[in-house]
């Protein structure tokens, strides 16, 4: 039983680390977008991640991101 609990704890730690990395990446992308230094693909990834992670940003910021994402 202890072995299973230890294994489960390690798996939980890995999942938590992956989630933390996604939030950090969202922060990184939002900073690039705010500084007008992001590409359309980065903006698209940002929109996907905030939707998936259920993160809320202001309507004006989202509109800005959508405009960037629409660029080719």
Q: How high does pLDDT run on average in the chain?
A: 90
Count of H-run helices and E-run strands, the chain: 3, 0
Q: Which helix (H) or strand (E) holds 43?
A: helix 40-53
pLDDT tens-digit map of 34-60:
999 999 999 999 999 999 999 999 999
CB 33 within 8 A of CB 42: yes
* pLDDT in the model for residue 2: 57
Q: Write the CA distances from 56 to 50, 51, 62, integer angstroms.
A: 7, 8, 9
Map out the domains of the chain as residue ranges: 21-70
- Spatial separation of the C-alpha atoms in residues 16 and 23, rounded to whole Å: 11
71, two tokens: 């660029």
Position 3 confidence tier, pLDDT thresholds 50, 70, 90 = low
């Amino acid at each position: 039983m202890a072995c299973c609990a230890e294994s489960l704890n390690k798996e939980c730690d890995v999942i938590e680390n992956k989630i933390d990395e996604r939030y950090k990446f969202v922060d990184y992308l939002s900073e690039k977008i705010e500084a007008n230094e992001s590409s359309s693909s980065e903006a698209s990834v940002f929109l996907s991640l905030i939707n998936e992670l259920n993160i809320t940003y202001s309507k004006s910021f989202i509109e800005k991101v959508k405009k960037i994402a629409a660029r080719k």
